[in-house]
Amino acid sequence: MRLFAALVPPDEVLDELSRAIAPHVGQVPGLRWPGRATWHITLAFFGEVPERALPELESRLARAVHRHSALDLALDGFGGFSSARRARVLWVGVTGDSMTRLAHSVKAGARRAGAAQTDGKRFHPHLTLARAKTETDLRPLIESLSGFSGSPWRAEHVRLVRSHTGPQVRYESLAEWALASSGRG
């Protein structure tokens, strides 16, 4: 099973984002815009995990998640990986409370459960919006989206998600754990 841990913004936040990007979808040749059902903020990517490891992984992730407080976040700022000028990925950034400690805890829990760690990249909180097969100059698109700043929201749950690859990528939520109440709000 191909698995990852993620935060999913609430529908009203995704509605705002959807309205902001709608005029641009399909305007850049070669840029593929997967459906909104795939939108998430990856905390940790685990790659292929054997089914027998799932119970231990779920147990470890539950413990890791419960040690962290809910996060106050917002979607803000667009960019491209590896750079806006030579991008294969268009993303929207995430501001607010730092997710780094949570991401590290989730990765550590997965490592202890024996889940493969195939993603050694530095954590950069973002939500992927579009992909290109070849490097594309996204600077004009990113500039045209620069006025967007999403409403604040509280991330209260972490999901374990299975990725079904193929012509149409599909995600399946396998488990969900609540972050601790932070006492704010």
Q: Which residues does the annotation mark as catalytic?
A: 40, 126
**CA-CA distances (angstroms) from residue 22 to 27, 51, 87?**
10, 38, 20
Both structure tokens of 43: 């905390």
- Distance from C-alpha of 161 to C-alpha of 101, rounded to nearest angstrom: 20
Name the residue with tokens 């730092």: 98
Please report the sign of the dihedral spanned by the C-alpha atoms of residue 103, residue 107, residue 108, residue 112. positive
Q: Are strands 2-7 and 87-96 parallel, antiparallel or unpaired?
A: unpaired
Name the residue with tokens 């935060």: 7
**CA-CA distances (angstroms) from residue 108 to 82, 105, 112, 161?**
26, 5, 6, 17
- Interacting residues of 128 by C-beta distance below 8 A, sequence separation 6+: 34, 39, 89, 90, 91
Give backbone dihedrals phi and psi of 72, rounded to 5 degrees, phi first: -95, 120
